Structure 1
Amino acid sequence: MEMSETFAATVAGVAPVIWLVGALEMHQYAKRRADESRALEKLYAEGRAAAEGGDPGTVREAIRLMQERVEPVLASAESNMTLRKAVYSLWAVVVAALLAAESGSLMWLATGGGTESGLAWLCLVALVAGFAAVTSLPVIVTYVEMEQAIKRRREHAGNIAALLAAERRSQAGPSEPPAGA
């Protein structure tokens, strides 16, 4: 594989587009994370406001409600931390490769070029990695987040079922001891 004017011009035109698409995707991903943080801060502020100046029973109830509301948001944020680090690290590597390909192809075009096969391979690998990142990262992130949401829904359903069972038992009154006991 050797550099050609057509290939270098294609790389110079395509690499920034991949970079832009990826940057927009990463911005949306970061925006969702920031929204989660703001929601958590809002829950804490509401809990603090409800607890301020109240009697001990009101304060305990406000803390309990805040904990109930904050726990799922916090659990989601913590479980996504490894995924976030991986996504941001992978994107940083892809951006570095795209920058090298873009710079190399523009330099090749500006200097009249040659037959650098190493640069041609770098450009090819960078573009493929960029295409892979902008197509697969959103799919992987969405899949992981959906799996975590399903898990949380199952946990909530189990908690609701346990609460309903406890409520039915309390409404049924004290149970009678089994016969023969």
Structure 2
Amino acid sequence: MQMTEELATTVAGVAPVVLLVAVVEINNSRQRVRQVYEDLMRPSAVARELFRDGGEPTREQVEHAVRQREEADTRVHAGMGLLLYVLSACVVTLLLFLAELRSLFWLAGDPMSNSRGDATFCTLALVTGFAWVCLAPLVPLLVSITRSLVGMVRSHQDERRLRRLAGEYREQGADRQAARDVRRPGRE
């Protein structure tokens, strides 16, 4: 693959558009990132507050802090997912920026120079950018749908178990009622 004027011009024109879409996607995710960060940091803030100025927390305060820590521990997976998202956004943004610079410098310089590496890099950067812009919004959606489906399956299993237990409890109640009726003759 060689860098040609057509490729360099395409990269110079398309990379900023993909970069802009990526930046908009990143900006739209800022609030989600901030919320997960605050959720993960809340237990630490509670613990710091409990022991500020050498304070001795009450049992209720300690139990509240422990519950918050346990809730935060369940959010660690979301935090790791967002960390991967942010890191991938940084890599994609950098790749697109560098591809734009390389194509512009190539166009401004000697277009006849051997630039196989430039062509390969720019093409891979655009492909990566396109893939990220397409997949970044889809991955959280797919994860959410998958979690919902798993929750529905578990809910269905719990619902069947609940119906089974309700039937057993009704039978036990009917048996108890029959036993009471037997113990009290003359009540019909």
TM range (shorter): 0.5 to 0.7
Work out the CA distance in 2 between the residues paired with 1:23 and 1:142: 19
Work out the CA distance in 2 between the residues paired with 1:74 and 1:150: 23
RMSD: 4.2
Letter in 1 for 2:143: V
Deviation of the 1:153 alpha carbon: 7.0
Who is 2:119 aligned against?
A: 120
Work out the CA distance in 2 between the residues paired with 1:145 and 1:31: 17
Who is 2:50 aligned against?
A: none
Who is 1:10 aligned against?
A: 10
Match of 2:109 among 102, 108, 111: 111
Letter in 2 for 1:21: V
1:17-36, aligned counterparts within 5 Å? 17-35=17-35
Q: Does 1:140 align with 2:165?
A: no
Work out the CA distance in 2 between the residues paired with 1:144 and 1:81: 14
Structure 1 residues 128-152: Cα deviation after superposition (integer angstroms, max 9, x where no partner): 0000000012111221233345556
1:153-172, aligned counterparts within 5 Å? none
Match of 1:99 among 97, 100, 118: 97
Q: Name the SS of the counterpart of 1:80 in structure 2.
A: helix
**TM-score, L = length of structure 1:** 0.62
Work out the CA distance in 2 between the residues paired with 1:21 and 1:98: 11
Deviation of the 1:74 alpha carbon: 6.8
- Name the % identity: 30
Letter in 1 for 2:142: Y
Structure 1 residues 75-106: Cα deviation after superposition (integer angstroms, max 9, x where no partner): 3x322122112222222222222122111100
Match of 2:86 among 85, 88, 93: 88
Who is 1:130 aligned against?
A: 129
Specify whether residues 74 and 151 from structure 1 end up closer, same or farther in structure 2 by C-alpha distance, changes over 3 A only. farther
Specify whether residues 33 and 17 from structure 1 end up closer, same or farther in structure 2 by C-alpha distance, changes over 3 A only. same
Aligned residue-pair number = 155
Specify whether residues 160 and 78 from structure 1 end up closer, same or farther in structure 2 by C-alpha distance, changes over 3 A only. farther
Work out the CA distance in 1 between the residues paired with 2:36 and 2:121: 38
Q: Unpaired segments of 5 or more residues in structure 1?
A: 46-55
Structure 1 residues 106-131: Cα deviation after superposition (integer angstroms, max 9, x where no partner): 00111142241110111100000000
Specify whether residues 31 and 149 from structure 1 end up closer, same or farther in structure 2 by C-alpha distance, changes over 3 A only. farther
Letter in 1 for 2:6: T
Work out the CA distance in 1 between the residues paired with 2:73 and 2:31: 17
Contact kept in structure 2, 1:18 and 1:131, CA below 8 Å: yes
**TM-score, L = length of structure 2:** 0.60
